[in-house]
Structure 1
Amino acid sequence: YAEQVRAGRQLSDLPDEIRAGKAQMLDLVKSGDIAAAYAYVESLPADVRFAVKPFFTHFTAGRTTEAATANAAAWLVSMLINGFPLMVSAQVRLEGDFHELHGVTAVPLILSPTGWSRTVAMDLAEDELDLLSASVLPTD
């Protein structure tokens, strides 16, 4: 799946692609061409669009991003209060639970009212696993 999303692009280039995408989108918004800014954001690769689109929404939709975040948090709390387990990404201390990683980092896991029960297995590309491994905060 990662190969389809990346279409020959490298994960190490993603931060620069996001910065360039945000800058181009903001230039279009500042010029008043909201339709062109939207079309530009929609034309971005999915992983870049995922990072740039919230900024487009923030700068063009009357600050709905904060309301959406609050709504998501309220929904999460409601589901947990009512006893529904959820798959979420969260920072946890790992002891080999996910790709043999040890330390604190964010991973997909099952969360319930009693806490998190297990990580959710994911196939990661080699460069994704390298960057995730580099992000782990040791706890020793």
Structure 2
Amino acid sequence: MALRVAIVGAGGAVGSTLLMHMLKSSVLNPGDEIILLGRGTPESNGRLYATRMDLLDAFDEAAVRLTICASIEHLCTDIVVIAAGQTISKNRRTRRDLAHANLPLFERLAERFRKSAGCPLFLVVSNPVELAVAIFAAHLGPEKVIGIGAQQDSLRFARAIASQLGVHRSLVRASVLGEHGEAMVPMWSSVHLTVDDPESTSRLDALKARYERTNIKEEAAMTRKRLEELISTHQLAEAYELMEEIAPSTRIMVEPFITQSQIHSTPNATANATLEILSAAVVADGRRVHGQVQLSGQFHDIHGVCGIPLEVRLNGWLVSSQSQPTSAEIAELRASAGAIDAATKEWQR
């Protein structure tokens, strides 16, 4: 049976990039369908039709159907990717700013999907991802809603570690849980190599011994101050070089600050993280991914929205059994969940 994937916000930077990543990947088979949805305005519809034609010219050999849907109410799909809404800009610099800008959209979309037919899996890209997950889970059921922020942070953590070890990221497994923001929790207990290489393992052990007790918030504050100086004088190469000198667990918190000072979003990294979760759902082989979900005690008695390790299928998510955090990490995760809960409640007042 053909798989159907709908992208809400397909004409935006992340949505259109995800389309390209999907068509270049092996996730979809000939006859599968990607459904493009926009804002419904003439400008948005025009962009979708033009994007569709450009993608057909580039990837027609994939034999994946590309269709445009005018209304959520007419949608029939297995997976929905929510990539609509505002992003960080000069006028929206904080998560609070994004929350105020996107809250009405999240509520409107969730209500419209609640009234539509079917029960697809929802992958939430839009930010603040925790707010979107809370709203969509309340309307559509928590087991069908996953935010992709934790997967993106986990991939960044793995890359930061791989860079210092001198290996490729494909050889490193690492998890970042909690919030997709300042209350994120890099899980050093999760870090391991996928190859039996004594030399690389020894370097990883040394890296853990050096960095796993780093005061991340303190180092991040000091590093960000230095980054602001470098960025203000257009020393971007030096700013990125500085990232090699700090703990990988700190790097993932501050490196996006450099990138967003220049391009405001990270469409390729975001699309890649989304595609990894989508692929896990389609293949359903029990691989570990990460996502923000609405919890009711399933993971170390944490309640509320929190990033956790997951196994994903088209019918929903399960807590991954491949994670064994330390007691200190569990305490940090509970604190992160508390911070998320306080923020989402404040934003919805």
Does TM-score exceed 0.5, indicating one fold? yes
Q: Which residue number corresponds to residue 91 of structure 2?
A: none
Distance 1:58 1:135 in 2: 23
Change (3 A) 1:77 1:15: same
Distance 1:136 1:124 in 2: 15
**8 Å contact 2:280–2:289 — kept in the other structure?**
no
Q: Which of residues 248, 259, 268 is equivalent to 1:46? A: 248
Change (3 A) 1:126 1:107: same
Identity %: 22
Q: Tell me by how many angstroms 1:49 deviates.
A: 0.8
Q: Which of residues 285, 303, 307 is equivalent to 1:103? A: 303
1:31-85 Cα shifts (integer Å, max 9, x gaps): 122222121122111101111122222234x4561343134325533553x3445
Q: Which of residues 205, 208, 233 is equivalent to 1:31? A: 233
Q: Which residue number corresponds to residue 133 of structure 1?
A: 334
Superposed structure 1 runs of 4+ greater than 4 Å apart:
none
Q: Which residue number corresponds to residue 224 of structure 2?
A: 22
Say yes or no: does 1:113 pair with 2:318.
no
Distance 1:136 1:20 in 2: 25
TM-align CA RMSD: 2.9
Distance 1:75 1:87 in 2: 10
Letter in 2 for 1:117: L
Distance 2:289 2:238 in 1: 34
Letter in 1 for 2:233: S
Letter in 2 for 1:131: E
Letter in 1 for 2:209: Q
Q: Please report the TM-score for the alignment, with normalisation by the length of structure 2.
A: 0.32
Change (3 A) 1:39 1:51: same
Stretches of structure 2 lacking an aligned partner (at least 5 in a row): 1-187, 190-207, 342-349
Q: How do 1:36-115 and structure 2 match up within 5 A? A: 36-60=238-262, 62-63=263-264, 65-74=266-275, 76-77=277-278, 80=281, 82-85=282-285, 86-90=287-291, 91-95=293-297, 97-99=298-300, 101-104=301-304, 105-115=306-316
Task: Say which one has the larger Rg.
Answer: 2
Q: Which residue number corresponds to residue 4 of structure 1?
A: 209
Change (3 A) 1:127 1:92: same
1:84-138 Cα shifts (integer Å, max 9, x gaps): 455222223243x433x14233211101111113333423333222121234469
Change (3 A) 1:44 1:108: same
**8 Å contact 2:303–2:337 — kept in the other structure?**
yes
Distance 2:318 2:212 in 1: 35
Q: Tell me by how many angstroms 1:5 deviates.
A: 5.7
Q: Please report the TM-score for the alignment, with normalisation by the length of structure 1.
A: 0.70
Q: Which residue number corresponds to residue 81 of structure 2?
A: none
